[in-house]
Amino acid sequence: MQQSNQQAGSRGPIFKRDVAANRYELKCANQKATNDGRQAAQKLQWLRSAVQLAFLALLAGGLYGAVRPAFVALMPLAFLAGNYFCGWICPFGTAQELLGRLGALLVKGKLKMPPALQRYLQFSRYVLAAIILSHVAQSLVDLSAINAYKTFMRAMTGNVAQTAALVILGSFLVIALFFERPFCNYCCTEGVRFGVLSLGRLVTIKRSSDKCVNCRLCDKACPMNLSVAGVKAVRHAQCINCFQCLAACPVGALEYGKISLKRKRLAGAEADS
């Protein structure tokens, strides 16, 4: 009888236990697939970095505004395949990521928000978005003036108007040296739009529980502090499609692809629990 390592409650081998006859072949096949998968994930990271730098260059060259209307296509894309704006395009996200890499060199590693705190803090950007949307709040004080994403864009395009917001932004950039994407995680209302749309995605990151060895390197790599190892498929509004979890997985247990509707319901149930 076949029994997988997960069914038996252990986390070692990545092949079925009692298929002794072809265990070696299976292992070799897995190894090659794993190596191919890891190389593909690394190439994807290079591609993502190139796209991010291209948009940063467009911004520096004053052409970002010209391409912005095309971003409307990212909305239906988010609905089908997740949020590609934050992890691939947003120059402020890229700036935080670059500073994060610099910070990792300086302090030899990154700080992670304690999970107990993250559980509540992750809702802060939704609260901010709700406040900004609220007509009552808008009539009391123009909170849209502290939309840091827009302020960053204005600042970078030469219309510096809001000193207070710039100070807030500067603070987030300093924090980004130590914590990954702090603004994206806790304050960005722009990301909320794409994130909420992406909740219905059919194409997402899937985890194979047969291959997974529960090392949790994917969780460690996730800049949005998501639990990838704890779900069958990622379906969370915080996910920014950066695919750093894929690149971090040592056994190729993660892939980006279509999930069946049945699996989607399962993923939702797991994520909600």
Q: Nearest to residue 134, comparing CAs of 142, 124, 123? A: 142
Three-class SS state of 244: helix
Residue 122 one-letter amino acid? Q
How many Å apart are CA 149 and CA 167, to the nearest integer?
A: 13
Task: Tell me how far, at minimum, the Cβ of 267 lies from ligand SF4, in Å.
Answer: 12
Using an 8 Å Cβ cutoff, are 34 and 43 in contact?
A: no
Q: Which is nearer to ligand SF4, 165 or 248 (CB)?
A: 248
Task: Tell me how far, at minimum, the Cβ of 57 lies from ligand SF4, in Å.
Answer: 23
Task: Tell me how far, at minimum, the Cβ of 252 lies from ligand SF4, in Å.
Answer: 8
H helices of the chain, in order, are: 23-60, 64-67, 74-81, 85-88, 91-107, 115-121, 124-133, 135-140, 148-156, 163-175, 182-186, 189-197, 217-221, 244-248, 261-272
DSSP structure string for 59-95: HHTT-HHHHGGGGGGHHHHHHHH---HHHHT-HHHHH
Greatest Cα pair distance in the chain: 73
Q: Which is nearer to ligand SF4, 129 or 240 (CB)?
A: 240
Q: Which is nearer to ligand SF4, 11 or 265 (CB)?
A: 11
Q: Which is nearer to ligand SF4, 31 or 138 (CB)?
A: 31
Q: Which is nearer to ligand SF4, 189 or 238 (CB)?
A: 238
Task: Tell me how far, at minimum, the Cβ of 218 lies from ligand SF4, in Å.
Answer: 3
Task: Tell me how far, at minimum, the Cβ of 60 lies from ligand SF4, in Å.
Answer: 25
Q: Which is nearer to ligand SF4, 95 or 205 (CB)?
A: 205
Task: Tell me how far, at minimum, the Cβ of 112 lies from ligand SF4, in Å.
Answer: 13
Q: Which is nearer to ligand SF4, 125 or 165 (CB)?
A: 125
Task: Tell me how far, at minimum, the Cβ of 118 lies from ligand SF4, in Å.
Answer: 13
Q: Nearest to residue 26, comparing CAs of 16, 18, 40? A: 16
Three-class SS state of 207: strand
Residues near ligand SF4 (CB under 6 A): 205, 207, 212-218, 221-222, 224, 226, 228-229, 234, 239-245, 248-249, 251, 253-254
For 265, left (φ over 0), alpha (ψ -120 to 50), or beta? alpha
